[in-house]
């Protein structure tokens, strides 16, 4: 299965233009279904272990009903590390952003349980103390994901919007951003196992509820420019991210801690 994870994917220049114009792009058939099936059980096992004591859905907040969120699984499993450190995915992130290389910010599994609620509108970079916009998230479903399962949906071009960048994910972000984003077209489409979407840090996105009797299992990888520097945190969420995901890195320095390895470097 190494070719799937390491060999270059034939990226069409039209996909690069789409990503830079809309702030997101979905690439079909990036990974073989057999590759997804090889790594999915280990990811699911770790998520189940780390969420065993979760409260029933009805007792959770809007945010906690949206998904089970487990981060940096690559540090807990050599199998997951092999998947997350894929040079194919890292190269795609670099080429879409137009940078020479990318390093890890962190990974996170996002499992929307059967009957799980909607994911509110939000932009990921609200949480990240990064000095530039050179960051992107790969959204990798671990099964076919029809509309009724709650695939990710994007507001096209919304990375240019300044309004709403002060909102953490929740009921308030959903309410306010529904108004702010009404003039932006929304892209929402089903995914097949092996499809991968990439969205930039300031692209606003959401997901519908999971109306099926099966969990929607997704692995995500957050990449940043290889030369990304740490910005001074603007609020408590970014301060927490600095402590957890950029340990020991000084403000203004390149984020090169042991948990921020380079995944792809075109010059290496």
Q: Which CATH architecture has domain 2-230?
A: Sandwich (2.60)
Q: Using pLDDT thresholds of 50, 70 and 90, give the confidence band for residue 61.
A: confident
pLDDT tens profile 17-36: 999 999 999 999 999 999 99
Instruction: Indicate the average pLDDT of the chain.
Output: 95
Domain ranges of the chain: 2-230
Return the structure tokens found at 110: 């996002």
Please tell me the predicted confidence (pLDDT) of residue 62: 78
The average pLDDT across 172-200 equals: 97
What pairs with residue 265 in β-bridges?
Answer: 101
pLDDT tens profile 132-158: 999 999 999 999 999 999 999 999 999
Please tell me the predicted confidence (pLDDT) of residue 57: 79
Cβ atoms within 10 Å, residue 28 = 10
The average pLDDT across 100-120 equals: 96
CA distance linking residue 128 with residue 72, whole number of Å: 15
Is the model's pTM score more than 0.75?
Answer: yes
Three-state secondary-structure class, residue 144: coil
The average pLDDT across 75-79 equals: 97
Q: Residue 53 above 60 pLDDT?
A: yes
Q: Using pLDDT thresholds of 50, 70 and 90, give the confidence band for residue 59.
A: confident
pLDDT tens profile 205-220: 999 999 999 999 999 9
Please tell me the predicted confidence (pLDDT) of residue 157: 98
CA distance linking residue 234 with residue 187, whole number of Å: 30
Three-state secondary-structure class, residue 98: coil
E-assigned strand segments in 21-163 = 24-27, 68-71, 101-112, 119-122, 135-141, 152-155
Least confident stretch, 60-64, 99-103, 192-196 = 60-64
Return the structure tokens found at 108: 């996170």
Q: Residue 48 above 70 pLDDT?
A: yes
Return the structure tokens found at 4: 């799937």
Return the structure tokens found at 25: 């792009």
Q: Residue 2 above 60 pLDDT?
A: no
Cβ atoms within 10 Å, residue 241 = 18
Q: Residue 56 above 90 pLDDT?
A: no
Burial category of 248 from C-beta neighbours within 10 Å (exposed 0-12, middle 13-18, buried 19 and up): exposed
């Amino acid at each position: 299965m190494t070719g799937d994870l390491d060999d270059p994917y034939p990226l069409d220049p039209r996909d690069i233009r789409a990503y830079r114009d809309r702030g997101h792009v979905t690439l079909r058939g990036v990974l073989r279904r057999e590759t997804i099936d090889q790594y999915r059980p280990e990811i699911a096992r770790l998520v189940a272990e780390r969420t065993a004591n979760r409260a029933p859905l009805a007792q959770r907040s809007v945010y906690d009903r949206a998904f089970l969120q487990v981060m940096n699984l690559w540090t807990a499993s050599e199998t997951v590390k092999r998947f997350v450190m894929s040079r194919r995915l890292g190269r795609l992130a670099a080429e879409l952003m137009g940078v020479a290389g990318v390093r890890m910010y962190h990974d996170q599994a996002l499992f929307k349980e059967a009957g799980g609620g909607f994911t509110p509108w939000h932009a990921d970079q609200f949480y990240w103390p990064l000095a530039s916009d050179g960051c992107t998230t790969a959204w990798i479903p671990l099964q076919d994901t029809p509309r009724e399962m709650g695939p990710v949906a994007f507001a096209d071009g919304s990375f240019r919007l300044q309004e709403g960048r002060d909102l953490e994910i929740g009921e308030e972000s959903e309410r306010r951003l529904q108004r702010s984003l009404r003039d932006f077209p929304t892209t929402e489409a089903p995914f097949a196992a092996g499809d991968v979407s990439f969205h930039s840090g300031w692209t606003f996105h959401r997901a519908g509820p999971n109306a099926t009797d099966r969990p929607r299992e997704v692995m995500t990888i957050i990449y940043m420019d290889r030369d990304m520097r740490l910005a001074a945190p603007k609020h408590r969420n970014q301060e927490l991210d600095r402590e957890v995901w950029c340990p020991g890195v000084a403000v203004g320095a390149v984020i090169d801690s042991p948990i921020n390895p380079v995944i792809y470097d075109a010059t290496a």
